[in-house]
Amino acid sequence: MPGPTFRWFALASFISMIVIVLSGAAVRLTSSGLGCPDWPTCFQGRITAPWGIHHWIEYGNRMITLLLILVTAATFLAALLREVRRPDLIILSGMLIAGVVADAILGAFVVYSKLNPWLVSLHMLLSLSMVVISAVLYHRSKYVYGPGARSDVRDRHFLVIARLLWIPFVVLLITGTMTTGSGPHAGASQGQLVARRLPFAFSSAAWVHSLAAVLFIGLIIGLLFAIWTKDAPSALRLGVRRLVIISLIQAAIGVTQYLTHVPPLLVELHVAGAVSLTIGVTQFHLKQTAHDREPGTQRVQRPVESVTTTI
């Protein structure tokens, strides 16, 4: 299989990982977490869901998971059949399969524990980890990696910062899931407001999460000034600028949803923002080194047309 063809398999896996996070959040926010109370069947030994909005939302999420397994399996097979076999692409594709299976098994425990909030939070963090792996896979599918390949560090100081940036970002994600786990959206259609939640006040969790968000935003704004002052490469400028924009939008959504008593639509948008921020941090880290493009994946440069003025 040609290298450029494999890139499309990697892209499909990348998109599917984003879709499963958003669909999983939609299941919880529509109180459909127990729409299929059994696993791997849906209800009383039935494979398909009975009639009912909550049943079909949860069942639809399971079908997306099944599709995700097929896509990742096809991506792994494509990595094996690639003309120039690359161990890094095979390993990353295999990690996606293992992660999807682990996420599905964890989802079964979530169902049988009647939406244990600790397991739900872990479910979200594992799904975001798969977004990171799929983003790395898609990036590497477009560039040449391996022994003898060009790997020029754009700026060693910023490379160290990009690595350390993962620490406050992971703290931000963990505190975010803890906030959600202590909030009003338990995910079940019955007894939602009294369903089991994490053992601390929602307001306290939101306050800790907001402090983590302020710290993270402050760090990337400082990084933005440092990169622009040092006249760093355009790839780094663009990457950190995206991080700042996404973070500010995400903060605005977070504040708004808290002040408006956490409406489901804003929570879903906040989850989408978390996915975007996860991709942004991953891409900023990857852009710290310059690599040659894989043959056949170069961007098409449009010729600049000359304009003549007749007087």
How does pLDDT run across 166-191, given as a tens digit for each residue?
Answer: 999 999 999 999 988 887 766 555 54
Name the residue ranges covered by the structural domains of the chain: 1-142, 148-293
Q: Which of 159, 171, 165, 173 is nearest to 281 (CA)?
A: 165
What would the pLDDT profile of 85-126 be if each residue is shown by its tens digit?
899 999 999 999 999 889 888 888 887 777 788 888 898 999
CA distance 150 to 292: 6
Taken in order 159, 288, 238, 135, the sign of the CA dihedral is negative
Count Cα atoms within 13 angstroms, Cβ side, for 4.
6
pTM: 0.86
262 contacts 184 by C-beta, under 8 angstroms: yes
- For residue 194, give the DSSP letter: G
Tokens linked to 28: 């919880």
Q: Which of 237, 210, 207, 233 is nearest to 223 (CA)?
A: 237
For 260-267, what is the mean pLDDT? 86
127 contacts 61 by C-beta, under 8 angstroms: no
245 contacts 201 by C-beta, under 8 angstroms: no
In the chain, the N- to C-terminal Cα span, in Å, equals: 56
Residue in the structure block whose two tokens are 């939406």: 115
CA distance 75 to 109: 27
Q: Does the structure show a pLDDT above 60 at 304?
A: no
What pLDDT is recorded for position 299? 63
Residue in the structure block whose two tokens are 């040092």: 230
Provide the 3-class DSSP secondary structure of residue 143: strand
- Give the pLDDT band (50/70/90) at residue 237: confident
Q: What percent of the chain has pLDDT over 90?
A: 40
Q: Does the structure show a pLDDT above 70 at 264?
A: yes
What is the amino acid identity at position 199?
Answer: P
Residue 36: partners with Cβ closer than 8 Å, 6 or more residues away: 42, 43, 49, 55, 58, 59, 62, 111
What pLDDT is recorded for position 10? 95
Q: Where are the alpha helices (DSSP H) in 113-183?
A: 117-142, 156-164, 166-181
Tokens linked to 285: 């880290």
